[in-house]
Amino acid sequence: MASIQKHGNKWRVQVYVAGVRDSTTKPTRQEAAQWALEREAELKGAKLPDRTLLDALRRFADEESSKRAGEKWEVLRLRSFEREGMADRRIAALAANDFADWRDKRLTQVKPATVAREMNLLRSVFEVARRDWRWIRENPMKDVRWPKTPKGRARRITPDEERDITAAFGLQDELSATTATKRVGLAFLFAMETAMRSGEILAMTWPNIHLDTQFVHLPKTKNGDSRDVPLSRRAVEILRALPLGFGPVFQLEADDRDALWRKVRDRTAHRSIHFHDTRAEAIWRLSKKLDILQLARVIGHRDLKSLMIYYDESASEMARRLG
């Protein structure tokens, strides 16, 4: 264990490992702590590699992000981290207080949910650096307190709202995929039937869709697992309205889907509806037909507790079921 004490206008640091004592002075406590970490490693015969946080961010982006859902967001955020002042520091010298200070500063700029998401990414970077690359011995993020985040949104979509939005996309009478706008409307209806996320829907390709046996295989999902999603008769009808091809079934990019959704939705009186609200509504509807284990498997939730925000049934409704 290192001893660090103020000595005049400098910091004196001492280490003692296996009967060997060494000491020095550094201009700052941070530099003293870094020296102690490196010197202890040398005396133990296990010096850590001379790598910076910048090295870790870039290697993670190159080797790990492509394996994970949300690759585009991750890479952009990792590049943003590169501009942080601590990016040039040696990764093994970074401590929890460095990231606690960064967290507090970041909370003045963005919402707590965004900070929590960024912290989860940093924790993953450090964990890979510790477990796989052996660049550090401990993950500094484990001792950083996460910001409190608001309860997840679980807005219901009423039958009237669904009808109005369907009409706004021109799909009330016939399922048609002749324009990108109509395909966004079909994606909305498909999400209401399956509880699939927008990214999962836009990534679907025909080889993974099995209309005869009514399911779609998702080889890569948000949590990294694959899963099979059952298709209702209505979901099959929606897919049959789409043209066959070799690329994504809905032939939409995420940005186009978002822009067209907002444009059409804003023509209605329901501007508070987000495309993602289809997931909460669809999960609630599926909960009436599937038991909780089946539901978790269909929507890809590992933690059954996380499903509770989607169970929006009053006590009186449950009482009618009991008889």
Q: Which residues are catalytic?
A: 197, 222, 276, 279, 301, 310
Phi then psi for 99, rounded to 5 degrees? -85, -25
Residue type, 19: G
**β-bridge mates for residue 229, sequence order:** 216
DSSP string, 78-129: HHHHTTSGGGGSBGGG--HHHHHHHHHHHHTTS-HHHHHHHHHHHHHHHHHH
The answer to whether the CB of 218 falls within 8 A of the CB of 227 is yes
Residue type, 66: S
Closest alpha carbon to 13 in 25, 1, 21: 25
Alpha-helical (H) ranges within the chain are 29-43, 53-63, 71-81, 96-107, 112-131, 159-168, 180-194, 198-203, 233-240, 254-265, 277-287, 292-299, 315-322
- Cα separation of 192 and 292, whole Å? 19
Phi then psi for 316, rounded to 5 degrees? -65, -35
In angstroms and rounded to an integer, the radius of gyration of the C-alpha atoms of the chain is 26
Pairing of strands 3-7, 227-230: unpaired
